[in-house]
């Protein structure tokens, strides 16, 4: 197989482990901390997880390994969207497993959780796994979005594990996937299967974090990849001096990606969904905010700029969220068939006009027609609007243009406005992992096996002190139930891992807020460039600006 020189070289990279994991397996001991409780709804979570709730946090340290010696047969699953470094989690898990006992076995279930249910797997060996070290993607075994959430599924999973003599399952995923891991762990414990479940925190969106999980893997590489592209566009904008670039970035439920990219590149505008919600900003107010920057820059002879838009920002606009809710109700049940049977947009518009409240229709009417139609594209499995399909970058550029046209009529604006649009998503999900993600992910996998070896169940692999060099990282584990609360999902109260939103009183946002007025008017762009793998630590082992600010670096 022909591979690039970079891929060939990355295959040889030796990921760095936390200091306490660099000792021989026989010299890794465990130190238990205090018992834990969930972040909210303690009594309800405890009742749902009687066998795995309230367990102690643990830290690994140098000392005699007191775990019971036994053969381990482990299964691993990649769940949900891709994130750079996933391959290294598997490699770290495999290496620790084999370093402990050569006869240990690692099963890779193909295509996500469905591979476990369908008993579709491969057995890893050195030759196969060595092809994927330090590379991006999830193609080592593939991924999927099947949810493990029913008693029937758990029973099938238990049977598959029993068939192969599997002693533990490692689920590599985001908040929903690790919620499923917690529920599966509780089932296995309640039915005395002898199978442990360990989770690993993955998501490029950065919303799987808390006081224990400083950063989910993939966030570092993805934001560095997007920031390189945004920096390139900023340089082009400053060269051509005639385009405003509206750039949508990943982040349906939180704005961590947008904020990190803004901290890296200093664009003229960056919307933060959490602030939009806190200030109850309307679409019109957001458009005015952007138009103000366009106007001020035009007055200084700069008819160009860059605006970063989080993927899910429109859901945080109260009036738009209310509109979405009414549309979901409007097209519920048989009404959807009636609407879809209409042949022209004119007829559909009349149907919409007659079905929405006066307030919702006032919001709908100001939207560009292309966005109006996107709101009525194919629904999700629950019959709801697929907000991720809405081209919010085009929505805001169109609304800004309308604002500027009004100002031009009033004589307050005399500039030119030529918008271009971009969406950066898939470009970052499978990039070659940065040194940070290569090291972090390998450590998460290696650490996951240590949790298995010591008999823990329903735990998340935890590596902390991440703003320091890898030698100073701290390895351990935390019960997944500690991260959980009850939320309303599809009409039912369900236990889920709480998503972490951007904290408006946190240091990263405060730094951004202190500088954005200057960036809005001046051309203060910074150009991060491509991810570097070799060279001085301050270049190739640089942490994210978010993590650096959070830790006061």
* Residues 546 and 263 sit within 8 Å (Cβ to Cβ): yes
What 3-state class would DSSP assign to 202? strand
Specify the pLDDT at position 490: 65
Specify the pLDDT at position 3: 85
Two tokens, residue 165: 């003599």
**Residue numbers annotated as active site:** 205
Furthest C-alpha separation in the chain: 81
List pLDDT tens digits, range 391-411: 999 999 999 999 999 999 999
Specify the pLDDT at position 380: 66
Does residue 383 surpass a pLDDT of 70?
no
CA dist 260 and 227 (Å) reads: 8
List the strands of the sheet with 73-78, edge to edge. 28-35, 56-62, 474-479, 459-464, 196-201, 168-173, 73-78, 105-109, 121-123
Interval 189-210 mean pLDDT: 96
What 3-state class would DSSP assign to 127? helix
Two tokens, residue 357: 């409240």
Two tokens, residue 331: 């097209």
What is the per-residue DSSP string for 44-99? Answer: HHHHH-TTTTTPEEEEEEES---SPP---EEEEEEBSS--TTHHHHHHHHHHHHHH
Q: Does the domain at residues 22-218+433-489 carry the CATH identifier 1.10.10.350?
A: no
What 3-state class would DSSP assign to 164? helix
Helices 507-521 and 256-265, packing angle to 10 deg: 50
From the list 498, 294, 305, 495, the residue with the least C-alpha distance to 407 is: 294
Count CB-CB contacts under 10 A for residue 125. 12
List pLDDT tens digits, range 298-354: 999 999 999 999 999 999 999 999 998 899 888 887 788 899 899 999 999 999 999
User: In the chain, which segments carry CATH 3.40.50.450?
Assistant: 22-218+433-489
Measured at the CA of 311, the angle between CA 181 and CA 424, to 5 degrees, comes to 95
* Residues 58 and 503 sit within 8 Å (Cβ to Cβ): no
What 3-state class would DSSP assign to 479? strand
Long-range contacts of 3-7 (CB under 8 A, 24+ apart): 6/432, 6/533, 7/135, 7/432
CA dist 186 and 331 (Å) reads: 38
Does residue 297 surpass a pLDDT of 90?
yes
* Residues 189 and 457 sit within 8 Å (Cβ to Cβ): yes
Interval 542-551 mean pLDDT: 94
What 3-state class would DSSP assign to 106? strand
Identify the band that residue 496 occupies on the pLDDT scale cut at 50, 70 and 90.
Answer: very high
Does residue 1 surpass a pLDDT of 70?
no
List pLDDT tens digits, range 247-273: 999 998 899 999 999 999 999 999 999
- The proportion of the chain whose per-residue pLDDT surpasses 70, expressed as a percent, equals 98
Helices 345-355 and 358-365, packing angle to 10 deg: 140
Two tokens, residue 550: 């959070």
Interval 424-446 mean pLDDT: 97
Does residue 378 surpass a pLDDT of 80?
no
* Residues 461 and 477 sit within 8 Å (Cβ to Cβ): yes
Specify the pLDDT at position 381: 63
Identify the band that residue 189 occupies on the pLDDT scale cut at 50, 70 and 90.
Answer: very high
User: In the chain, which segments carry CATH 3.40.50.460?
Assistant: 219-429+506-550
Sequence-ordered list of residues with C-beta below 8 angstroms from that of 406, at least 6 positions apart, any chain: none
Specify the pLDDT at position 434: 97
Interval 87-93 mean pLDDT: 98
Does residue 22 surpass a pLDDT of 80?
yes
Specify the pLDDT at position 96: 97
Interval 141-152 mean pLDDT: 94
* CB neighbour burial string for 140-164, b if at least 16 within 10 angstroms, e if fewer: bbbbbebbbeeeebbebbbebbeee
What is the per-residue DSSP string for 370-426? Answer: HHHHHTTS---TTS---GGGS-HHHHHHHHHHHHHHHHHHTTS------EEEEEESH
- Rg of the Cα trace of the chain? 25
Does residue 379 surpass a pLDDT of 70?
no
Mean pLDDT estimate for the chain = 94
CA dist 272 and 16 (Å) reads: 34
Interval 218-235 mean pLDDT: 98
Specify the pLDDT at position 69: 85
Specify the pLDDT at position 382: 59
Structural element, H or E, at residue 486:
strand 484-489
How many Cα neighbours within 13 Å face the side chain of 320?
27
Two tokens, residue 322: 């209310």
- Which residues face 488 on adjacent strands? 493
Q: Using CA atoms of 114, 118, 119, 120 in order, give the dihedral in degrees to the nearest 10.
A: -70
Specify the pLDDT at position 25: 87
CA dist 258 and 250 (Å) reads: 8
Q: Does the domain at residues 219-429+506-550 carry the CATH identifier 3.40.50.460?
A: yes
Interval 148-175 mean pLDDT: 96
Interval 435-449 mean pLDDT: 98
Does residue 215 surpass a pLDDT of 80?
yes
Identify the band that residue 456 occupies on the pLDDT scale cut at 50, 70 and 90.
Answer: very high
């Amino acid at each position: 197989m022909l591979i690039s020189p970079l891929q060939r070289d990355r295959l040889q990279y030796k990921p760095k482990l936390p200091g306490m994991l660099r000792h021989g397996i026989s010299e890794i001991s465990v130190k238990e901390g205090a018992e834990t409780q969930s972040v909210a709804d303690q009594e309800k979570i405890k009742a749902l997880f009687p066998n795995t709730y309230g367990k102690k946090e643990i830290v690994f340290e140098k000392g005699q390994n007191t775990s019971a010696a036994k053969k381990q047969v482990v299964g691993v699953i990649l769940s949900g969207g891709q994130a750079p470094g996933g391959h290294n989690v598997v490699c770290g898990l495999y290496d620790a497993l084999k370093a402990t006992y050569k006869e240990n076995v690692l099963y890779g279930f193909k295509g996500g959780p469905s591979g476990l249910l369908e008993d579709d797997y491969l057995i890893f060996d050195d030759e196969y796994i060595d092809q994927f070290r330090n590379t991006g993607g999830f193609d080592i075994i593939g991924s999927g979005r099947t949810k493990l959430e029913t008693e029937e599924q758990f029973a099938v999973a238990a049977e598959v594990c029993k068939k192969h003599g599997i002693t533990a399952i490692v689920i590599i995923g985001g908040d929903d996937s690790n919620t499923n891991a917690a529920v599966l762990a509780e089932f296995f414990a309640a039915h005395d299967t002898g199978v442990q479940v360990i989770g690993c925190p993955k998501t490029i969106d950065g919303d799987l974090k808390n006081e224990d999980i400083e950063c989910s893997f993939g966030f570092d590489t993805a934001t560095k990849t997007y920031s390189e592209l945004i920096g390139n566009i900023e340089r082009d904008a400053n060269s051509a001096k005639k385009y405003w670039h509206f750039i949508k970035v990943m982040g349906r439920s939180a704005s961590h990606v947008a904020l990190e990219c803004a901290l890296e590149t200093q664009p003229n505008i960056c919307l933060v969904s959490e602030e939009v919600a806190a200030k109850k900003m309307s679409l019109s107010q957001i458009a005015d905010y952007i138009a103000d920057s366009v106007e001020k820059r035009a007055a200084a002879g700069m008819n160009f700029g860059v605006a970063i838009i989080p993927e899910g920002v429109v859901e945080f606009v109260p009036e738009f969220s209310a509109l979405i809710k009414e549309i979901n109700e409007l097209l519920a049940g048989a009404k959807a068939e009636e609407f879809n049977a209409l042949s022209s947009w004119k007829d559909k518009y009349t149907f919409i006009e007659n079905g929405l409240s006066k307030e919702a229709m006032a919001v709908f009417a100001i939207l560009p027609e292309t966005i109006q139609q996107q709101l009525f594209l194919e629904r999700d499995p629950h019959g709801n609007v697929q907000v991720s399909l809405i081209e919010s970058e085009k929505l805001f550029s169109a609304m800004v243009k309308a604002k500027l046209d009004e100002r031009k009529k009033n004589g307050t604006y005399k500039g030119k406005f030529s918008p271009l649009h971009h969406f950066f998503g898939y470009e970052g999900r499978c990039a070659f992992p940065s040194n940070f993600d290569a090291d972090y992910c390998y450590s998460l996998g290696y650490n996951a096996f240590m949790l298995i070896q010591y008999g823990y169940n329903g735990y998340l692999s935890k590596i902390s002190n991440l703003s320091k060099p890898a030698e100073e990282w701290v390895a351990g584990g935390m019960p997944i139930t500690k991260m959980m609360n009850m939320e309303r999902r599809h009409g039912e109260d369900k236990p889920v891992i709480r998503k972490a939103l951007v904290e408006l009183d946190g240091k990263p946002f405060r730094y951004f807020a202190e500088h954005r007025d200057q960036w809005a008017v001046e051309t203060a762009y910074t150009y991060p460039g491509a991810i570097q793998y070799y060279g001085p630590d301050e270049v190739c082992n640089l942490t994210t600006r978010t993590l650096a600010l959070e830790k006061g670096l």
